[in-house]
Amino acid sequence: MQLSNSEEQLMEHLWQLEKAFMKDLLDAYPKPKPATTTIATLLKRMIDKKFVAYTEFGNSREYYPLVKKTEYFSKHVNGLISNFFNNSASQFASFFTTETNLSASELEELKKIIDGELQKKKK
């Protein structure tokens, strides 16, 4: 299941805060802030999708994520590789490195990451 762009934006705030009341979530947004009802609607949808849960404290709810950020984006990247690159990570890597204007230092950093992963796999 996927989140809409608005839900993803709210989820980003929730991942950063880890736990948050409605006021905390509203405070996390830049001005102009969304309406409380908008955030409430997004939270309801995200609860229904099993991305968010809450603990009640009297009339207040403290919301928290049920899905880790890395888990969520890992599924997206794997879906992207599957759908657009014939399930080939090397085709994705080739596209990513040639089409995204990465600097030499960013490419060096990627190379270090790949070399590190290669070393782990060889053990």
Burial of 8 (0-12, 13-18, 19+ CB in 10 A): middle
Q: Do 9 and 60 belong together in one domain?
A: yes
Residue 87 confidence class, pLDDT cut points 50, 70, 90: confident
- Of 65, 86, 108, the residue at which a domain comes to its end is 65
Residue 36 confidence class, pLDDT cut points 50, 70, 90: very high
Domains of the chain: total: 2
In this model, does residue 69 exceed pLDDT 90? yes
In this model, does residue 2 exceed pLDDT 80? yes
- Of 22, 47, 65, the residue at which a domain comes to its end is 65
- Of 26, 48, 65, the residue at which a domain comes to its end is 65
Burial of 26 (0-12, 13-18, 19+ CB in 10 A): middle
Q: Please tell me the pTM assigned to this model.
A: 0.74
pLDDT at 44: 97
Q: Do 45 and 82 belong together in one domain?
A: no
Q: Do 59 and 94 belong together in one domain?
A: no
pLDDT mean across residues, the chain = 92
d(CA 53, CA 65): 6
pLDDT at 12: 96
**Over pLDDT 90: what percentage of the chain?**
60
